Homo-oligomer: A and B are copies of this chain.
């Protein structure tokens, strides 16, 4: 598995659960390692007051041969909901357990009272507990056949419909879709495809343009690099240099052993393949850090200090260290990400998220519809150069899942850059977030607006308000609320006109 394959499969959200590292590779042959982490995740401390529900959802919305249904999970929090003049905020679940998203989307909880809103969090099919074929859901391409964004949107439409018909008062209220990352893409697409269901969408850090050649494939890693450079001017330079040093040390058995010790690896490196794995793992770590470069200490993907990229680059600021010292510094830098708690005894580069259902589903989606070209130049970024290689991806995907990617489909289905006929979508992006490369960062029309958040990482705006939040994200949130309130007001104004 070449280095580039890793990049191709970068998940929008390195999935779930503390201790899980980045979904690193196609994980060929790892299917047997499938566990049922949903239960594990469901035991996460529940900090929010919601009720859990299940909707009997059709497995296939677009065909009639298979009439099977499955139980799709969704959560409802209606403490602040008002039957008169209220609204429904509907989280379009993405690639993971919905409880985790529910607990990490504090923004919705923060605004519920002000908006008299009911919160609904709908789990994406094939993630968390919402498995169409139970433990066999990931068995083969036949069972995975119903894992597409179109099916997911249809699920959401059915749930909204069901709520409107079963909870008195909901029918005549506006519904707003909210989502982050892939969930933000879904929120935007939900509004585009089902504008009769929802009055608007807040799509946070949603890289809906990260397809085909809509944006340069190198931009993503350039943003990662820029983040590191801002934290410390020589940091990217040291990281760029580190690849060569690792290669050099990897060339002899004795230096390889030294490197393993220097980096405190749990298993010593033994060959060229291990060196490649090590570099992949380090690259992923830098990407993750750029995504979760939040202004306060928190535990999103890992327990991390405030401004973790700065904390990392503190160890990589000196441009003139020897190769050996660079490696010792590299360990300290990695340790920021993997050992903020101070509990880890060693660093485990073979740690993958194949033990997490989410990553399995995502690796399938990244092999079918969600084909997001990423590449590195080694010049404009701090990584080793790798071209975007769709042919290799196609071969790998066929080997792993027996499917062939359809790289142009998402643009055909959702419009690519030509989305100006839609209305009432707010696209927010953090300028620190590498996914902003594929985001909508300029207003398209007055009703299709971009909110760019300086000092913001991956959907910072969707997180709970925090005393350490920069002013920019506070402003972004208040703008988002203003847009949502406008949609709600327009809904009621039209509604009164009708009746």
Contacts and interface: CB of A to CB of B under 8 A. Distances in A.
Given A61-B62, A154-B412, 10 more contacts: A62-B62, A62-B151, A64-B141, A64-B144, A64-B145, A64-B148, A64-B406, A157-B413, A193-B193, A421-B423
A216 B374 CA distance: 54
A403 B145 contact: no
A150 B368 contact: no
A141 B195 contact: no
Contacts of A67: 403-404
A415 interface: yes
A416 interface: yes
Interface in A172-231: 193-196
B148 A196 contact: no
B64 A195 contact: no
Nearest to A65: B145
B196 A418 contact: yes
Main SS at interface, chain A = loop
A146 B145 CA distance: 14
A46 interface: no
A371 B146 CA distance: 24
B142 A421 contact: no
A113 interface: no
Interface in A48-93: 58, 61-67
Contact of A412 (B145, B161, B413, B422): B161
A415 B195 contact: yes
A421 B145 contact: no
Contacts of A274: none
Contacts of A409: 61
A62 B409 CA distance: 10
A158 interface: yes
B368 A64 contact: yes
Contact of A195 (B161, B406, B413, B422): B422
Interface string A130-151: 0000000000011011101011
7 contacts: A58-B406, A62-B151, A63-B145, A64-B145, A65-B142, A196-B415, A196-B419
A149 to B, nearest CB: 10
B193 A148 contact: no
A187 to B, nearest CB: 16
A141 B65 CA distance: 5
Determine which residue in A146, A161, A412 has the highest number of CB atoms from chain B within 10 A of its CB, and name it. A412
B150 A62 contact: yes
